């Protein structure tokens, strides 16, 4: 596995994957903070496009990502990750809404677990999932990071010149 780091307002994000696809985005802090594993090799080139798209996102110019992704996920987790990618920029959904969207209305807790194991946060927007009361719930990068991402999207939701 190859890796690099991408600067962001949340700190340096770990990007990892192959020459062909992004597999991991790791936060520098929070309960899901990630560091490179000993067997991984530093190689910046495969992640140039991902780093550029993340910079555009953080500048409010990119509302959707166009990257080859290869998240490690069970079939259920893959269903949830697919549903997360359909949440429009600047909007939120509850765990129950995601469960209903994948045809499993009683699976809110399982959706929460799958959401929490998302290996590609930001690009697969798990930060857009909130509690049914509207409260922010857990986030691998920490609740301040989740709040930052949601506020960023709300500020730029109708921005002109954005890449969709």
Q: Domain segments of the chain: what residues? A: 2-58, 75-156
User: Helix 75-85 and helix 108-116: axis angle, to 10°?
Assistant: 80
Say how far apart CA 67 and CA 22 lie, in whole Å: 8
135 vs 129: CA distance, rounded Å? 10
| pLDDT for position 146 | 95
- Catalytic-labelled residue, pool 84, 99, 122, 126: 126
Which residues lie closer than 8 Å to 33 by C-beta, 6 or more apart? 26, 27, 140, 141
Give the three-class secondary structure for 87.
Answer: coil
Q: Decide if 126 is catalytic.
A: yes
| pLDDT of residue 7 exceeding 50 | yes
Please state which of the ranges 22-31, 64-73, 88-97, 152-161 shows the lowest mean pLDDT. 152-161
75-156: CATH topology is Arc Repressor Mutant, subunit A (1.10.10)
pTM: predicted TM-score of the whole model, two decimal places: 0.93
Name the fold adopted by 2-58: Double Stranded RNA Binding Domain (3.30.160)
Banded model confidence at residue 5, pLDDT cuts 50, 70, 90: very high
Q: What integer is the mean pLDDT of 43-72?
A: 97
pLDDT in tens, 120-133: 999 999 999 998 88
Q: How far is CA 62 from the centre of its chain?
A: 14
137 compared with 164, residue with greater pLDDT: 137
Checking if the pLDDT of 159 tops 90, the result is no
């Amino acid at each position: 596995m190859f890796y690099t780091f991408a600067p962001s307002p949340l700190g340096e994000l770990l990007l990892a994957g192959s020459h062909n696809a992004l597999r991991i985005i790791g936060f520098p802090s929070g309960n899901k903070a990630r560091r490179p594993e000993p067997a991984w090799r530093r190689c910046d080139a495969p992640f140039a496009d991902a780093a550029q798209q993340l910079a555009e996102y953080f500048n409010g110019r990119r509302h959707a990502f166009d990257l080859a992704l290869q998240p490690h996920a069970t079939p259920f987790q893959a269903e949830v990750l697919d549903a997360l990618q359909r949440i429009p920029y600047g909007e939120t959904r509850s765990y129950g809404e995601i469960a209903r969207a994948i045809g499993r209305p009683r699976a809110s807790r399982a959706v929460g677990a799958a959401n929490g194991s998302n290996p590609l946060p930001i690009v697969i927007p798990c930060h857009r999932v909130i509690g049914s009361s509207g409260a922010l719930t857990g986030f691998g990068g920490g609740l301040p990071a989740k709040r930052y991402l949601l506020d960023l999207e709300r500020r730029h939701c109708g921005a002109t010149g954005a890449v969709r």
